[in-house]
Amino acid sequence: MYIEHKHFKLPNNSSEVDVYISPTGSIQFMIEGKEKVLEGDFHKLAFKKIESGVDLVYKTRSVKSSWDIILSKKDAELVSRMIDEADENFEIIMRDL
């Protein structure tokens, strides 16, 4: 299965992040220099506009597994398009089965 990948620079600091989106609904953010990977189901991801960009918020019932990351407006729009494309690809795959 095809996994989409993009590399972004975070707006609030000098860190960079790799984003991986799968048609099965999973999203991963791997922040350069940190060992923690932010991951989850992209259908539970909310985009919240803030002054410094867009806060991508992932909420679950467990506070420990909830997370957020701030991207520039342009990068957040690209992530949103990537998610839409992944959804479309998944529908195509399921229809072909």
**For every one of its 97 residues, what pLDDT tens digit does the chain have, with 9 covering 90 and above?**
688 999 999 987 778 999 999 988 999 999 988 877 999 998 899 999 999 899 999 988 877 788 999 999 999 999 999 999 999 988 888 888 7
Compute φ and ψ for 91, nearest 5 degrees.
-60, -40
Q: In this predicted structure, what is the pLDDT of residue 4?
A: 92
- pLDDT of 54: 96
Q: Is 68 left (phi over 0), alpha (psi -120 to 50) or beta?
A: beta
* Cα 59 from Cα 84, distance rounded (Å): 20
**Residue 38 contacts residue 31 (beta carbons within 8 Å):** yes
The SS3 of residue 97 is coil
Domains of the chain, CATH where assigned: 4-96 (2.30.29)
Cα radius of gyration rounded to whole Å, the chain: 14
Give the per-residue pLDDT at 77: 96
- Contact, 56 vs 27, CB < 8 A? no
SS3 63: helix
- pLDDT of 1: 62
